Chain A
Amino acid sequence: GAVVSQHPSRVICKSGTSVKIECRSLDFQATTMFWYRQFPKQSLMLMATSNEGSKATYEQGVEKDKFLINHASLTLSTLTVTSAHPEDSSFYICSARDQGTGENSPLHFGNGTRLTVT
């Protein structure tokens, strides 16, 4: 089945540093990937839609200069949290849909990245 690999699974960084999270589709191509943020005991909040070869589309209220997204190939999207602060600590999850399937096919999710900013 379709697999999405997300790395790292956990990261601890100091306030003011930047952290890069990778999301790879291992056995399918994805022109579009999605980045979510999940707060404790809450649902997933869509942060942005990552588009291969073009700029990401950010949801309202998400700072694009804070959360840099790059989708350089059909199998890789990266999210960089710049100048991280403790309030950025969260669980970040990426997802992708096989571009060979239709709009009603399910999303495939990575296992998430637990970011802790100290």
Chain B
Amino acid sequence: AQSVAQPEDQVNVAEGNPLTVKCTYSVSGNPYLFWYVQYPNRGLQFLLKYITGDNLVKGSYGFEAEFNKSQTSFHLKKPSALVSDSALYFCAVTSGTYKYIFGTGTRLKVLA
């Protein structure tokens, strides 16, 4: 069965510092991995995806993520956090069906 784990409910980071939001997955077959961001009372916005190829994927708003097959991880990163990055972040996986599995979400709080 497919699953996604986001082990941290909340991550706090000071503005200007690097941030990491963790995600691990379990899927049979090749994984398609995604990160989405959600602002209050809004839907989800696509940030980036990994399908194949380079393990380091760059996305919107300066975010990037690293696919690590041996650790089955897909952590979201940004070199320098902004207060405006504060939001709820979701990792998701699909294995080629149309059904996405979402993690439980990690609330990122960037402190000024």
Q: Which residues of chain A have a CB within 8 Å of any CB of chain B?
A: 4, 6, 9, 32, 34, 42-44, 46, 49, 91, 93, 95, 97, 103-104, 106-112, 114
Contacts and interface: CB of A to CB of B under 8 A. Distances in A.
A104 B51 contact: yes
B44 A109 contact: yes
27 contacts: A6-B43, A34-B100, A42-B105, A43-B90, A43-B103, A44-B102, A46-B100, A49-B98, A49-B99, A91-B41, A93-B43, A95-B44, A97-B98, A103-B94, A104-B32, A104-B94, A106-B34, A106-B46, A106-B49, A107-B44, A107-B46, A107-B100, A108-B46, A109-B36, A109-B43, A112-B41, A112-B43
Interface string B24-46: 00000000101010000111111
Nearest to A102: B51
A49 B34 CA distance: 19
B46 A42 contact: no
B84 interface: no
B1 to A, nearest CB: 13
B20 interface: no
B46 A44 contact: no
A91 B105 CA distance: 15
A39 to B, nearest CB: 11
Interface of B: 32, 34, 36, 41-46, 49, 51, 90, 94, 96-100, 102-105
Nearest to A57: B99
Contacts of B44: 44, 93, 95, 107, 109
A43 B3 CA distance: 13
Contacts of B97: 103
A104 B49 contact: yes
A110 to B, nearest CB: 5
